[in-house]
Amino acid sequence: MESVSFEDRQRAYEKLRSQLLDAGNTDLAAALTAGDLPESFRLKLREGASWRTMADTVRDLRGVATVVNQQCVREQRGSTLTHCATS
């Protein structure tokens, strides 16, 4: 693993709201609140590291509801994303 960072609800809200506004989705951006989003940890893997191995390791930790591969989400924009997450 290269790095781990914590993202609180307010930071998650600011990032998502900015992304929504950049995409022209002003209605959803206006309806969104910080309370709508969870706190999260952001893990950056080293080049060549296995996302699946990391997900299998952390998904059973207390407090972890879902592990999402953000690179997969970005690459699959607009497609079914169920293969990008594990619970």
Give the residue ranges of DSSP H helices in the chain: 9-22, 26-31, 51-58, 70-75
Whether residue 83 has pLDDT greater than 90: no
- pLDDT number for residue 65: 87
Q: Match 């594990």 to its residue by tokens.
A: 86
77 band by pLDDT with thresholds 50, 70 and 90? confident
User: Which class for 11: exposed (0-12), middle (13-18), buried (19 or more C-beta within 10 A)?
Assistant: middle
- pLDDT at 59 (0 to 100): 86
pLDDT digits (tens, 9 = 90+) for 22-73: 999 999 999 999 999 999 998 899 999 998 898 888 888 888 888 888 888 7
Q: What is the per-residue pLDDT for 63?
A: 85
**Model pTM score:** 0.70
